[in-house]
């Protein structure tokens, strides 16, 4: 699926896309179901191949097939596996079959009578009875096809008992589209939830797989193309999933006759005596991401410390207070802004504190009208003085969730449940800006387009990683990317550089910087662009 756009969608958008494919594009629902079942069956067969040497008995695959079309998917999976010689058992909710489910159930009933097919069918409720579920308990693989995105209320009764039973077993669990019990939009547990080892996501990733409890219960994610046109997912609540193809399309070109002036003149404002490392890491990342020249505007004591660590940037020392932060010289930032006028790209925030001196520098940066990346302490200042952003455009803001809570005045619970809607609400009030919302996933939006990077990596869970991201985005913006492109590509490059970690324990933000060249080589290679 790397050649086409992939989306993260709400349950409602996913349903509408499925319906539009069937009604408007005349793709039969059973065709879509067959594609889905084949993808899950392939994942099951791959697992059986990988674990064959460790099994002392022949493999058996059981499927829990609930009401609706998720249950119908489960029955189709059993048909495919049984016809490939796998021993199968399907536990079916015969009382609540969908129209397609009735077709799949009839097919399984006919298969059971064929010689050479090892397939058994049981009522779903029997799986809860101790005397009748030994087959389920001894299954090598359990297919969760209970609900998918169709669950509209908390699990209870038989279904809750089934989830608790499966969670207590040793079989490898694969969920179809979404682990049963996880809310498709918020990731919350609905009464109880099944813990999957792998989830085969059908057609598009659902928000609930990325939010709150979703990642913990999802296991390894595998996205399956089932034949629904990608364009049907374009919706204000959806986000494009960033992959290498998307990232490569945003890479700024570098013409052979270019010079350092072609790629921008960057000024990064920040640092302090106690936090000179933050600006140093941001600066090193910026210089490694394509900018032409780089100058650091930092308190004089910090400049001395940075000079010993970073010799690729020019230094523009500023007056410091007694603690080594920007001095509060006066209340009129217009005079400071003259310092910023020769530069084409600014960044501010890394390690500068939130005192009055830092506030004056931020005001001067915004008064200059230059494009700017606002990070760290500068974001916290914007949260304290929200009017400071009024009317300002060309800004990229990179808050983590707590910083965004301060910036937006939204409670963390709301942001955790509805990050896309929360970001959209803020951008509606503050148009002309790009927001990079950082968590175990990263959401990037300009209010019109939304992108998401959903590749959690604990190698990035280190102080300084955010400073490196600020530098990456600043360098790409200076090198010619648009604000949105710089933010999307920068977040992807940052995440990709972490893949070079030998161990997340020892990987540092400076290791991120050292591997940026490897990531750009991959993006810029002719061989990669042809795949």
Residues 132, 52 share a domain: yes
Q: Are residues 195 and 286 in the same domain?
A: no
The whole-model pTM stands at 0.91
Do 518 and 412 share a structural domain?
yes
Does residue 251 fall inside a structural domain?
no
Count up the domains in the chain and report the number.
Answer: 2
Q: Let me know whether 119 and 75 are in one domain.
A: yes
Distance CA 385, CA 407 (A): 9
Summarize pLDDT for 458-470 with one digit per residue, the tens: 999 999 999 999 9
Tens-place pLDDT, residues 84-134: 999 999 999 999 999 999 999 999 999 998 999 999 999 998 888 865 678
Answer yes or no: do 137 and 284 share one domain.
Answer: no
Same domain, 201 and 110: yes
d(CA 421, CA 370): 28
Token duo for residue 160: 């809750």
Let me know: does 480 contact 252? Beta carbons within 8 Å. Answer: yes
For residue 486, the Cα-to-chain-centroid distance in whole angstroms is 17
Provide CB contacts within 8 A for 462, sequence distance 6+.
507, 508, 509
Residue 198 sits in the same domain as residue 331: no
C-alpha neighbours within 13 Å on the C-beta side of residue 205: 28
Residue 196 shares a structural domain with residue 304: no
| CATH code where residue 445 lies | 3.40.1190.20
Residues 496, 435, single domain; the answer is yes
Last residue of a domain, one of 238, 258, 284: 238
Tokens of 471: 């530098």
Cβ neighbours for 336, distance < 8 A, ≥ 6 positions apart: 360, 361, 364
Q: Which 8-state DSSP code applies to residue 387? A: G
In a domain, 484, yes or no: yes
8 A C-beta contact, residue 173 and residue 422: no
Q: Is residue 116 part of a domain?
A: yes
Handedness of CA 91, 96, 100, 102 (dihedral sign): positive
If we measure between CA atoms, which residue out of 242, 220, 222, 240 comes closest to residue 231? Answer: 240
What's the gap between Cα 165 and its chain centre? 31
Note whether residue 259 is domain-resident.
Answer: no
* CA–CA separation, 218 and 213 (whole Å): 9
Considering the domain architecture, whether residues 232 and 373 belong to the same structural domain is answered as no
What is the maximal distance between C-alpha atoms in the chain?
A: 90
In a domain, 255, yes or no: no
Distances in Å between the alpha carbon of 484 and those of 123, 197, 444, 450, 472? 52, 35, 8, 9, 13
| CA atoms of 273 and 408, how far apart (whole Å) | 30
State which residues form the domain around 441: 266-529
Is residue 467 a part of any domain in this protein? yes
CATH code assigned at 59: 3.40.50.10260
Does 244 fall in a domain? no
- If one counts every other C-beta atom within 10 angstroms of the C-beta of residue 430, the result is 21
Q: Mean pLDDT for each 10-residue chunk of the chain (531 residues)?
A: 73 95 97 98 97 86 95 98 96 94 97 93 86 83 95 91 94 97 96 97 95 95 94 88 94 88 94 95 96 96 91 92 88 72 96 95 93 98 95 96 96 95 96 96 96 92 96 98 98 96 94 96 69 38
Q: How far is CA 188 from the centre of its chain?
A: 17
Owner of token pair 């989306």: 7
Residue 206 corresponds to which tokens in the numbers above?
Answer: 């659902």
Q: Based on the domain organization, do 174 and 271 belong to the same domain?
A: no
The CA-based angle 310-315-317, given to 5 degrees, is 125
Nearest to 161 by CA among 130, 121, 198: 130
Check: CB of residue 198 under 8 Å from CB of residue 178: no
User: Is residue 405 within 8 Å of 449, Cβ to Cβ?
Assistant: no
Burial readout 303-340 (b: 16 or more C-beta within 10 A, e: otherwise): bebbeeebeebebbbbebbeebbbbeeeeebeebbebb
pLDDT value of position 531: 38
Domain end: 220, 238, 256, which one? Answer: 238
Do 21 and 71 fall within a single domain? yes
What pLDDT, on a 0 to 100 scale, did the predictor assign at position 435? 98
CA 449 to chain centre: 15
Classify residue 519: in a domain, yes or no: yes
């Amino acid at each position: 699926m790397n050649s086409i756009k992939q989306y993260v969608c709400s349950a409602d958008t996913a349903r509408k896309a499925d319906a539009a494919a069937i009604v408007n594009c005349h793709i039969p629902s059973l065709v879509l179901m067959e594609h889905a079942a084949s993808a899950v069956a392939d994942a099951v067969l791959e697992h059986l191949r990988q674990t064959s040497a460790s099994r002392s008995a022949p493999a058996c695959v059981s499927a829990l097939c609930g009401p609706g079309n998720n249950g119908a998917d489960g029955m189709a999976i059993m048909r495919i596996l049984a016809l490939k010689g796998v021993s199968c058992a399907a536990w079916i909710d015969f009382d609540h079959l969908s129209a397609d489910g009735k077709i799949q159930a009839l097919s399984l009933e006919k298969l059971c009578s064929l010689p050479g097919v090892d397939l058994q069918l049981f009522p779903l409720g029997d799986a809860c009875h101790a005397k009748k579920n030994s087959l389920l308990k001894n299954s090598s693989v359990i297919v969760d096809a209970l609900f998918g995105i169709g669950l509209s209320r908390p699990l209870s009764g038989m279904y809750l008992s089934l989830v608790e039973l499966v969670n207590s077993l040793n079989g490898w669990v694969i969920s179809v589209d979404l682990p049963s019990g996880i809310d498709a939009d918020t990731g919350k547990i609905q009464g109880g939830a099944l813990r999957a080892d792998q989830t085969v996501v059908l057609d598009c990733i659902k928000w609930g797989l990325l939010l709150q409890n979703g990642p913990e219960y999802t296991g390894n994610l595998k996205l399956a193309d089932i034949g629904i046109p990608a364009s049907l997912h374009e919706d204000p609540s959806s986000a494009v999933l960033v992959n290498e193809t998307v990232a490569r399309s945003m890479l700024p070109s570098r013409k052979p006759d270019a010079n350092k002036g072609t790629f921008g003149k960057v000024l990064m404002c920040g640092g302090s005596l106690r936090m000179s490392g933050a600006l140093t890491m941001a600066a090193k990342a910026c210089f490694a991401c394509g900018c032409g020249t780089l100058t650091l505007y930092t308190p004089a004591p910090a400049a001395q410390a940075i000079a010993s660590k970073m010799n690729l940037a020019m230094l523009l020392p500023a007056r410091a207070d007694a603690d080594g932060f920007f001095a509060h010289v006066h209340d009129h930032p217009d005079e400071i802004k003259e310092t910023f006028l020769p530069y084409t790209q600014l960044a501010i925030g890394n390690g500068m504190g939130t005192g009055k001196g830092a506030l004056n520098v931020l005001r001067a940066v915004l008064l200059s009208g230059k494009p700017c990346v606002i990070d760290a302490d500068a974001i916290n200042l914007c949260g304290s003085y929200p009017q400071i952003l009024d009317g300002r455009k060309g800004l990229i803001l990179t808050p983590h969730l707590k910083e965004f809570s301060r910036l937006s005045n939204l409670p963390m619970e709301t942001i955790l449940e509805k990050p896309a809607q929360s970001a959209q609400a803020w951008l509606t009030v503050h148009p002309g800006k790009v927001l990079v919302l950082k968590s175990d996933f990263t959401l990037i939006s300009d209010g019109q387009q939304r992108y998401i990077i959903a590749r959690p990596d604990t190698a990035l869970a280190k102080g300084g990683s955010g400073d490196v991201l600020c530098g990456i985005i600043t360098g790409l913006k200076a090198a010619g990317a648009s604000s949105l492109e710089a933010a999307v590509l920068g977040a992807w490059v940052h995440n990709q550089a972490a893949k070079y970690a030998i161990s997340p324990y020892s990987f540092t933000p400076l290791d991120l910087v050292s591997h940026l060249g490897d990531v750009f080589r991959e993006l810029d290679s002719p061989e990669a662009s042809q795949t």
